[in-house]
Structure 1
Amino acid sequence: MKILVTVKRVVDANVKVRVKADGSGVDLANLKMSINPFDEIAVEEAVRLKERGAATEVVAVSIGPPGVEDVLRSALAIGADRGVLLQHDGEIEPLAVAKALRQITLEEAPGLVILGKQTIDYDCDQTGQMLAGLLGWPQATFASEIAIEGDRAVVKREVDAGHQTVNMCLPGIVTADLRLNQPRHVSLPSIMKAKKKPIAMRELASLGVDVAPRLAVLKMADPPHREAGVKVASVQELVQKLKQSGALA
């Protein structure tokens, strides 16, 4: 079975982002970029499934400018066998991503597609569900455990009430949650081997997918500064301050 995984290049999770002075977006100049954490978990899980004998090949796919190749190399260093980079400049919305992934999925014919449940830049949490809808495949979102049993996948999901286990026929779509695994520390030999693994470069436009944006960002702004808390000596004083602030009518 072949597994397809998606990776996105985002601002490193440890970096504090800045909004541009004109409010048109986030200033990405000179910021450290890295693989989206949920996508890293997805790649790790795909590689683990291969190591357990449930898969024969792991293919990593990404969309973006040539610089995105570095996150594909990160996926290859974790253990993916090859990469596909759909070259595109500019922002691309979840529906357009799902349409592009549908075309790649039909070409690659994987038995399983694993995506991070969301990216840490826009937090849309939509692409996996849209891809499943476009393909007409079953889906299991927010996965914290995946087991392949023949032509089916048993997936434990993170839900509001706790956990839910679903039995899903393959091929199917799974989105990875935070507790699915802990990505491995990539060794230097693995990084060197990743440099020799193939990455197919293609223009996103060659897929014939409509990627025209349907939303327009009017303005971005930093969140309002949060004032420091105030200590009170008693419950009565707390109630009085809440009344004065209007928080308690």
Structure 2
Amino acid sequence: MNIVVLVKQVPDTYSERKLNASDGTLDREAGDAVLDEINERAVEAALQLKEANDGSEVTLVAMGPDRTTDAIRKALSMGADKAVHLSDEALRGSDAVQTARALAKAIGTIGDFDLVIAGNEASDGRSGAIPAMVADVLGLPALTHAREITVEGGSLTVKRETDDGVTFLSADLPAVVSVSEKINEPRYPSFKGIMAAKKKPVSTITLADAGIDASEVGLANALSSVTSASPKPPKSAGEKVEDEGDGGAKIAAYLVAQKLI
């Protein structure tokens, strides 16, 4: 079974994150960058399927600037076999629709595959739509919010868990699955895995290599845009309540003023 995993490098949630003042795009150089945590779970899900199905192979597909290779190498050190990195300056500022189309084209450079696994949503954009969009572009069924994945022969079953409850979905392969944070606990890369990752093949491709026209991607051609942005305000000091027998009333009055009660 040939499994594709979509991975993304995102700003570390513990580092400073900000937008470029000139165009409202994410300033990816402002802070540390890491492999998105939900992608680690997607990789883990793929590796578990690989271990359960002899002869399987896991290929990573990533889109982003040169430094994305750091995230790719971490996923490779977990046990993935190889990677395709779509990197082109013209991709900068691409919206969700453009990203999905570009990722689908990048997947197309791999050849035959049985399953595409992705995280439900990346921590930097949180659109939660890319996996379903990729499935639509590829013309494949989309099984989202997976907590469990089972593959038997040429069919796939997913335990889907959302706020509305638990349902079971099934589809014939190939298909696209997005996983939730509850699906597993990703493994830590071993020293052997880290060293092996340095030798695993990473194919870096451009728009031309993937058959993508520059007019299909990029900020100038995006279907959505940031009209305004401002940094979050600094934390203000809290309000201290002196209890002189009426502390409860003062707190209640504060909560009423904040429309909390």
Same fold (TM over 0.5): yes
Which piece of structure 1 moves more, 202-211 or 125-134?
202-211
Deviations 1:184-215 (A, max 9, x none): 11111111100001111110233333113222
Which piece of structure 1 moves more, 98-107 or 78-87?
98-107
- Over 3 Å counting, the alpha-carbon distance change for 1:21 and 1:106 in structure 2 is closer
In the alignment, structure 1 residue 199 sits paired with structure 2 residue 202: yes
Deviations 1:75-101 (A, max 9, x none): 111111111111122222221222122
Q: Which residue type is aligned with residue 232 of structure 2?
A: P
- Aligned Cα RMSD in Å? 2.5
Structure 1 distance, partners of 2:102, 2:260, is 51
In the alignment, structure 1 residue 92 sits paired with structure 2 residue 101: no
Q: Which residue type is aligned with residue 220 of structure 1?
A: A
Structure 1 distance, partners of 2:141, 2:122, is 22
Structure 2 distance, partners of 1:98, 1:28, is 20
SS at match of 1:143: strand
TM-score (norm 2): 0.84
Q: What 5-or-longer segments of structure 1 have no aligned partner?
A: none
| Residue pair 2:17, 2:30 contacting (<8 A) in 1 also | no
- Over 3 Å counting, the alpha-carbon distance change for 1:152 and 1:234 in structure 2 is farther
- Over 3 Å counting, the alpha-carbon distance change for 1:248 and 1:47 in structure 2 is closer
Which piece of structure 1 moves more, 18-27 or 67-76?
18-27
Deviations 1:126-180 (A, max 9, x none): 1111111122211111111111111111111121123222122211000111011
| Residue pair 2:148, 2:158 contacting (<8 A) in 1 also | yes
Of the candidates 177, 181, 203, which is equivalent to residue 184 of structure 2? 181
1:45 is matched with 45
SS at match of 2:182: helix
- Percent identity over the alignment is 31
Aligned ranges 1:158-169 → 2 under 5 Å: 158-169=161-172
Of the candidates 124, 131, 134, which is equivalent to residue 134 of structure 2? 131
In the alignment, structure 1 residue 111 sits paired with structure 2 residue 123: no
Structure 2 distance, partners of 1:196, 1:246, is 57
TM-score (norm 1): 0.88
Q: What 5-or-longer segments of structure 2 have no aligned partner?
A: none
Aligned residues: 248
| Residue pair 1:54, 1:148 contacting (<8 A) in 2 also | no
| Residue pair 2:105, 2:211 contacting (<8 A) in 1 also | no
| Residue pair 1:23, 1:221 contacting (<8 A) in 2 also | no
In the alignment, structure 1 residue 190 sits paired with structure 2 residue 190: no
- Over 3 Å counting, the alpha-carbon distance change for 1:82 and 1:219 in structure 2 is same
Deviation at 1:27, TM superposition (A): 4.1
2:75 is matched with 75
| Residue pair 1:3, 1:55 contacting (<8 A) in 2 also | no
Structure 2 distance, partners of 1:122, 1:15, is 16
